C-alpha cells in the first residue's frame, strides 16, 4: 500500500493523505540553520546544535503523535481548522504534502478555502520562511481569521525538559509591530535571540502559551482560535510562544499571500542593546526586509532549487529503471547531505539532546557527501581530527556548536580511529588535494598538542597496532562499529548505558571486524605513505597488515565464514560452536572487502553463507540465530527482542558491505538483488508494512524473527545513506575515484545492456556510456576516451574544465 508517489520531474515525494503510518519528515537548511518538518508541519528548528541552540520546542513520544510544530489555524465562522491537518485533525476536502529538496509544501482545503504553505530555509540565511497563499475557491465571499503559532524553546533543549523550576520563570519577549522577539536569558549570558514576523499589520497577538491555549487545552483547540480573537498576552516566565492574528476577507477566486519569517540573530557583546531592556534588532530588521514581498520569497526559493540542481548535477545516472535512477540521482544524494549536516543528532528517532556528532558516523557520512561540496568535507575531516586523542584514539562524539569532544560519551571504541583514514583517503581521491595532510591540527582541541594531519593518520593506524589481543587481533575496547556488542561491559544495572558504564579492564576481547577493517583501510594508509615518499612507514605498515591477514586466516575463520570476535574469556563469538549468534554480517563484508580469502575460496564461502543463513525478503539480517536471552558477556545486542536492532534486524548500514564484497568477487546480480531489497523506492509498494519514508534509507528493518518483519525504524540519519550510495555508484555502477583518476569498473546484473553516467570530477565533466553487449556482470575489455582507445580502465584526471566522452565496453 502506498501513501503517495514520486514526482521525479519536480524532485518531490508527494504525500496524498495525512494518515501516514508514521510522520514522514523532511529537512530544511544546508549548514547552520537547520529544521525538521513532518508532513503535518510538525518538528522544530535550531542553530548548529539541536541541544544547545534549540529555537522551537518539540516533544518526542507525545500523545497524540507529532504534536508541536509550525502551525496555522483558519477560523471560518464557527469552524476552525489547520491546513496541515495537525494539530486540529479536522477532515480536509483536499490534502497534499510535497517534500522537496530543502523545502516542504503542504496544502489543505476545507469549506472552499485552500491554504498552500511553503516552508524552506533560504541559502545562506539563518531563518525559516513560511509562505502562505490563501485562496477562496468557493462561490461565496469569505471573512476569515488566521492565527499563527510557534512555541519557543528555552535554548538548551535538555535544560528545557528538566529544569522547570528555573525555566518557567525566565521567559521574556518583546513585541514590536508585527514581530514577536524571544529574548529569554539574553539579559544575562546570551547574545542571541529569535523572532517570528509577518509582512502585514496584525490584528492581535499572543506570546503566553497558557493564555493562548486556555487552561487544560491543547494545540488542537486553542481558546483564542475558538473565540476568534487573540488575548494580546505578553509572556513573563512560563512558556513563550509567538502567535499572530490576521483578519482576511476574500471574494470568490481571490487569494492573499503572507510571508512569515522565523529567524535567529547573534549580536556582538558590545552591540546587544538598543537601550536598557530593548534588544538590538538591526540584524532582524535586515533579514525581515529581505523577505517582505512574495516576489522576494520566490527569488529565494528559486535560488534554493538552483543550489540543489547544481549539486545533483555532479553525479547523474540513466539506467532506464525509474526506481534506481530516482534513488541515485535525487534522494540518496539528498539524504547524504542531510546526514553530513547532522550526523545522528536530530531526527524523529534522535532527540538532538543525547548525542552530538559521531566520530565514526561523521567520517562515514563523508564517503557519500565528498563529491557534493568537497571544501566542507575537508573542514569536517579537520574538525574530527582535532578531537582525536594523542594516542590515536578518539572521542566517540563531539558537539557541533563547540566542535569539542563530548566527555559524556568518552572514547575507547577501537574502530573509531580507522574511519579517519578512510574518509581522508576518499577526500584525496575525490579532489586530488594532498595538502590536507600538511595541515597542522590539534589533538584534543589543544593547540599545544598539534601535529600534521598525516601524523593524525599515522597515530590512528598504530592505535590498532598498539592494542592487540592474544590472537594478534585488535582489542575491541568498549565496542567496534556494532555499539551493542559490549564484550567488556558485564552490565547488570538497568539504569546505566552499555556505552558509558564501567568496563572490565580485560586484554582478551578481540574484534575480527576491526581486523578486517584494519587491512581494508590500512592499504589506503600505505598508498598515502608511498605517495608522500615515506617508504619506511609504508614498509612497516605493510608488515603489520600482513601480520593481521595472517591472524585473521589463522584465528578469524570458522570453516564457512569469518568469526565475529573473541569475548572477555577468549571464547569465539559468531562461530558454529555458539548456540545462538553463529554468524554475523559485519566480518563477511569487511574481510572480503579487504581481499582476504579471495585466492583460496574463503571469501566465496563466507558470502555464500550470508546468502544461506542471513538473507531474507527484506534484506540481510545482522546475525543468526537471533539471541533469545540476555548474555551478560555479549552486552546490549542480546537485550533486544529477536529481530530488532542489532539482534537480527536488517541493518541497512552494513548490507552495502556485502554488496561491495559481491562486486569484488564479480557477482553483480546478487549485489543488485541485495541493493534493491532495502532501497526505499523498491519498498514504496509496502509502505503500510515498512511504515517509514519511502524516499530515504532507515537504519534498520525488523528481521524475520521479529513480531512485525519488514517494519522499519530510525530513518534519515544513518550511515545507510553514504554506504548505499558508495555501493551503488562506485561498485555496482563502478564509477570510482582513485588517486590518479577515475576508475571505471562496473559490476552489474547480467541482463543490463548498459547505462550512462554524467560525473563531475576534479574540474572536468565525464560523460560515460557503458555498454554490456555480452551480458556479463563484470569485466572491461575496451575503453575509449574522446575517440582514443585507452590502455586501462583508469581515466586520467583531466582537471581542464572541459567535457570528456568515455565509452566503456564490458566483456
Q: How far is CA 607 from the centre of its chain?
A: 28
For 469-505, the DSSP string reads -TTSSBB-BT-SSSTT--TTT----TTS-TTTS----
Q: At what angle do helices 374-386 and 359-369 cross, to 10 degrees?
A: 160
CA distance 679 to 674: 9
CA distance 576 to 273: 70
Contact 472, 551 (CB under 8 A): yes
Q: What is the 3-state secondary structure (H, E, C) of 280-339?
A: CCHHHHHHHHHCCCHHHHHHHHHHHHHHHHHHHCCEEEECCCHHHHHHHHHHHHHHHHHH
Residues 6+ apart with CB under 8 A from 460: 388, 392, 394, 417, 418, 420, 421
CA within 13 Å, CB half, 777: 15
Nearest Cα residue to 368 out of 804, 763, 799, 697: 697
* Burial class of residue 209 (count of CB atoms within 10 Å of its CB; 0-12, 13-18, 19+): buried
Cβ–Cβ contacts within 10 Å for residue 738, how many? 15
Say whether the peptide bond before residue 228 is cis (omega within 30 degrees of 0). no
**What is the residue whose three cell numbers read 549536516?**
341
Contact 196, 179 (CB under 8 A): yes
**What is the residue whose three cell numbers read 499589520?**
201
Q: At what angle do helices 585-593 and 602-609 cross, to 10 degrees?
A: 150
Residues 6+ apart with CB under 8 A from 54: 44, 46, 153, 155, 156, 157, 160, 352
Nearest Cα residue to 124 out of 300, 374, 299, 311: 300
Cβ–Cβ contacts within 10 Å for residue 665, how many? 18
For 420-442, the DSSP string reads HHHHHHHHHHHH--GGGGG-EEE
**Cα first-last separation, the chain:** 40
Residues 6+ apart with CB under 8 A from 379: none
Nearest Cα residue to 249 out of 348, 136, 376: 136
Contact 664, 592 (CB under 8 A): yes
**What is the residue whose three cell numbers read 471573512?**
143
* Cell reading at 704: 524475520
Contact 696, 331 (CB under 8 A): yes
- Report phi then psi at 145, rounded to 5: -125, 125
Residues 6+ apart with CB under 8 A from 333: 311, 312, 315, 368, 372, 725
List 160, 208, 483, 615, catalytic entry: 483
Which three-class secondary structure state does DSSP give residue 710?
A: coil
Contact 59, 134 (CB under 8 A): no
CA distance 749 to 732: 9
Give yes or no: 483 in active site: yes
> What does the longest C-alpha to C-alpha distance in the chain come to?
85
Residues 6+ apart with CB under 8 A from 170: 154, 184, 185, 237
Residues tagged active-site = 483
Amino acid at each position: 500500500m502506498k501513501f503517495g508517489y514520486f514526482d521525479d520531474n519536480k524532485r518531490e515525494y508527494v504525500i496524498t493523505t495525512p494518515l501516514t503510518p508514521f510522520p514522514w519528515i523532511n529537512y530544511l537548511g544546508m549548514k547552520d540553520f537547520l529544521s525538521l518538518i513532518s508532513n503535518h508541519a510538525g518538528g522544530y528548528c535550531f542553530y548548529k546544535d539541536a541541544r544547545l541552540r534549540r529555537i522551537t520546542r518539540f516533544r518526542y513520544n507525545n500523545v497524540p503523535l507529532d504534536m508541536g510544530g509550525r502551525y496555522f489555524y483558519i477560523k471560518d465562522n464557527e469552524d476552525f481548522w489547520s491546513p496541515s491537518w495537525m494539530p486540529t485533525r479536522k477532515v480536509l476536502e483536499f490534502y497534499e504534502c510535497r517534500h522537496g529538496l530543502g523545502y516542504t509544501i503542504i496544502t489543505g482545503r476545507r469549506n472552499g478555502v485552500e491554504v498552500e504553505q511553503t516552508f524552506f530555509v533560504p541559502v545562506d540565511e539563518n531563518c525559516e520562511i513560511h509562505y502562505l497563499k490563501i485562496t477562496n475557491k468557493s462561490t461565496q465571499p469569505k471573512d476569515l481569521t488566521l492565527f499563527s503559532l510557534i512555541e519557543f524553546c528555552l535554548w538548551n533543549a535538555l535544560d528545557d525538559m528538566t529544569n522547570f523550576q528555573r525555566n518557567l520563570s525566565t521567559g521574556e519577549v518583546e513585541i514590536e509591530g508585527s514581530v514577536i522577539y524571544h529574548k529569554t536569558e539574553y539579559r544575562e549570558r546570551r547574545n542571541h535571540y529569535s523572532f517570528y514576523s509577518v509582512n502585514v499589520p496584525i490584528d492581535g497577538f499572543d506570546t503566553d502559551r497558557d493564555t493562548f491555549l486556555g487552561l487544560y487545552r491543547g494545540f488542537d483547540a486553542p481558546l483564542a482560535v475558538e473565540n476568534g480573537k487573540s488575548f494580546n498576552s505578553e509572556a513573563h516566565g512560563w512558556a513563550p510562544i509567538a502567535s499572530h492574528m490576521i483578519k482576511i476577507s476574500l471574494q470568490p477566486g481571490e487569494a492573499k499571500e503572507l510571508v512569515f519569517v522565523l529567524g535567529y540573530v547573534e549580536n556582538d557583546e558590545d552591540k546587544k542593546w538598543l537601550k536598557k531592556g530593548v534588544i538590538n534588532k538591526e540584524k532582524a530588521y535586515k533579514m525581515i526586509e529581505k523577505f517582505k514581498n512574495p516576489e522576494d520569497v520566490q527569488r529565494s526559493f528559486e535560488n534554493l532549487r538552483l543550489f540543489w540542481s547544481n549539486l545533483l548535477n555532479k553525479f547523474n545516472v540513466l539506467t532506464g529503471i525509474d526506481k534506481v535512477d530516482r534513488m541515485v540521482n535525487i534522494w540518496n544524494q539528498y539524504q547524504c547531505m542531510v546526514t553530513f549536516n547532522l550526523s545522528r543528532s536530530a531526527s524523529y528517532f534522535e532527540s538532538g539532546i543525547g548525542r552530538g556528532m559521531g566520530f565514526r558516523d561523521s567520517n562515514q557520512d563523508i564517503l557519500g557527501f565528498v563529491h557534493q561540496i568537497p571544501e566542507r568535507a575537508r573542514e569536517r575531516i579537520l574538525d574530527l581530527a582535532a578531537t582525536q586523542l594523542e594516542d590515536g584514539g578518539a572521542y566517540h562524539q563531539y558537539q557541533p556548536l563547540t566542535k569539542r569532544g563530548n566527555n559524556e560519551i568518552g572514547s575507547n571504541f577501537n574502530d573509531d580511529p580507522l574511519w579517519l583514514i578512510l574518509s581522508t583517503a576518499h577526500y584525496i581521491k575525490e579532489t586530488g588535494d594532498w595538502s590536507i595532510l600538511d595541515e597542522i591540527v590539534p589533538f584534543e582541541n589543544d593547540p599545544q598538542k598539534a601535529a600534521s594531519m598525516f601524523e593524525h593518520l599515522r597515530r590512528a593506524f598504530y592505535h590498532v597496532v598498539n592494542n592487540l589481543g592474544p590472537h594478534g587481533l585488535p582489542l575491541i575496547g568498549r565496542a567496534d562499529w556494532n555499539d551493542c556488542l559490549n564484550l567488556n561491559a558485564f552490565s547488570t544495572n538497568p539504569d546505566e548505558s552499555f556505552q558509558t558504564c564501567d568496563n572490565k579492564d580485560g586484554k582478551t576481547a578481540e574484534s575480527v571486524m576491526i581486523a578486517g577493517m584494519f587491512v581494508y583501510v590500512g592499504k589506503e594508509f600505505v598508498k598515502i605513505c608511498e605517495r608522500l615518499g615515506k617508504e619506511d612507514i609504508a614498509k612497516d605498515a605493510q608488515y603489520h597488515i600482513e601480520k593481521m591477514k595472517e591472524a585473521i586466516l589463522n584465528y578469524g575463520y570458522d570453516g564457512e565464514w569469518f568469526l565475529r570476535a573473541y569475548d572477555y574469556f577468549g571464547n569465539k563469538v559468531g562461530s558454529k560452536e555458539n548456540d545462538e549468534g553463529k554468524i554475523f554480517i559485519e566480518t563477511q563484508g569487511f574481510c572480503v572487502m579487504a581481499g582476504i580469502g579471495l585466492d583460496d575460496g574463503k571469501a566465496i564461502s563466507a558470502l555464500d553463507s550470508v546468502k544461506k543463513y542471513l538473507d531474507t525478503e527484506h534484506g540481510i539480517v545482522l546475525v543468526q540465530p537471533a539471541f533469545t536471552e540476555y548474555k551478560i558477556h555479549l552486552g546490549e545486542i542480546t537485550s533486544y527482542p529477536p529481530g530488532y536492532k542489532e539482534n537480527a534486524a536488517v541493518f541497512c548500514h552494513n548490507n552495502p558491505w556485502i554488496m561491495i564484497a559481491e562486486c569484488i568477487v564479480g557477482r553483480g546480480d546478487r549485489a543488485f538483488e541485495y541493493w534493491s531489497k532495502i532501497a526505499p523506492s523498491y519498498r514504496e509498494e509496502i509502505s503500510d508494512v515498512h511504515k517509514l519514508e519511502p524516499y530515504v534509507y532507515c537504519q534498520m528493518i525488523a528481521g524475520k524473527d521479529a513480531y512485525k518483519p519488514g517494519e522499519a525504524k530510525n530513518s534519515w540519519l544513518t550511515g545507510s545513506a553514504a554506504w548505499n550510495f558508495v555501493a551503488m555508484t562506485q561498485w555496482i555502477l563502478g564509477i570510482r575515484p582513485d588517486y590518479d583518476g577515475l576508475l571505471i569498473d562496473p559490476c552489474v546484473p547480467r541482463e543490463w545492456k548498459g547505462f550512462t553516467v554524467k560525473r563531475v570530477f576534479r574540474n572536468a565533466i565525464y560523460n560515460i556510456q557503458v555498454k554490456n553487449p555480452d551480458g556479463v556482470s563484470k569485466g572491461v575489455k575496451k575503453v575509449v576516451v574522446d575517440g582514443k582507445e585507452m590502455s586501462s580502465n583508469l581515466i586520467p584526471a583531466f582537471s581542464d574544465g572541459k567535457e570528456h566522452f568515455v565509452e566503456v565496453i564490458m566483456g
